[in-house]
Structure 1
Amino acid sequence: MKDELLEVQTQLSYQDDSLQQLNDVVTRQQGEIDSLRREVDFLKDKLRELITNLREADADNVPPPHY
Structure 2
Amino acid sequence: MSLEARVTELESRLAFQDDTLQTLNDVLVEQQRLVDRLQLQMAALIKRHEEMQGQFQIEGEDVPPPHY
* 2:45 alignment partner in structure 1: 43
What runs of 5+ residues in structure 1 fail to find an aligned partner?
63-67
Query: Which amino acid is the alignment partner of residue 38 of structure 2?
Result: L
Equivalent residue letter for 2:44: F
Q: How high is the TM-score relative to the length of structure 1?
A: 0.82
Identity of aligned residues (%): 31
Residue 17 of structure 1: aligned partner: 19
Task: Kindly provide the amino acid, as one letter, of the partner of residue 52 in structure 1.
Answer: G
Instruction: Tell me the number of residue pairs that the alignment of Structure 1 and Structure 2 aligns.
Output: 58
Offset at 1:7? Answer: 0.3
* Structure 2 Cα separation of the partners of residues 15 and 52 of structure 1: 55
The CA deviation at 1:51 is: 0.3
Distance in 1 between the 2:20 and 2:29 partners?
14
